[in-house]
Homo-oligomer: A and B are copies of this chain.
């Protein structure tokens, strides 16, 4: 009983997936469907439906719902069930504010750390985003945007930061559709990506901050 033994056998990461009707984690699948708008904000997530939809067991569903509730993506009402959280305007703007502070806060570091290969990588991701504006789905666009911003933040040399921002981003984007209303705005986002890259190449931290500000506040 009690504790001890700091036996440190390092956990093998184990990226096991595939095989069997259960591809990976049900949490991820439900999350994707929420993001895609298939599971609309406000709708009730009946365990029996999810069970059938994803071909998994009841307890897997319950664990997934509990995790999503911890992340604030769904809300739990005891003896009633779980429903998709509908983020209000206040929360959305507060989270935008946090993103702004963080990304502005590391802009200087990004400019300092970025080398030629990093810039090339960013440019590749920005181009991928532009391509998907024409040819991709909204979901692919969302992923590409996330990839660009993750790569950008990674240049600050703070891994925790990348994960943190990825997490809080998800809190507002129950349905990414609601974010990017018009195609004009999406194309504008694409141009802003290239503005950021240009600022990084010029080692112009202030210009990068401006570009990020416009990009996040979308105005």
Contacts and interface: CB of A to CB of B under 8 A. Distances in A.
Given A2-B49, A67-B66, A105 B101 contact: yes
B160 A3 contact: no
Interface in A51-71: 52, 63, 66-67, 70-71
B3 A43 contact: yes
A75 B114 CA distance: 33
Contact of A98 (B7, B71, B160): B160
A9 to B, nearest CB: 8
Contact of A14 (B1, B13, B71, B171): B1
B159 A94 contact: yes
A89 interface: no
A106 interface: yes
B97 A40 contact: no
Nearest to A62: B63
A97 B7 CA distance: 30
Interface in A21-80: 38-45, 49, 52, 63, 66-67, 70-71, 75-78, 80
B40 A4 contact: yes
Contacts of A182: none
A104 B106 CA distance: 12
A5 interface: yes
Contacts of A1: 13-14, 49, 52
Contact of A5 (B43, B101, B171): B43
A113 B99 CA distance: 21
Nearest to A52: B1
Given A66-B66, A94-B161, A160-B95, A40 B6 contact: yes
Contacts of A5: 42-44
A86 interface: yes
Nearest to A103: B101
Contacts of A43: 3-6
Contacts of A42: 5-8
**Closest 4 A/B residue pairs (Cβ):** A6-B42, A101-B105, A3-B43, A94-B160
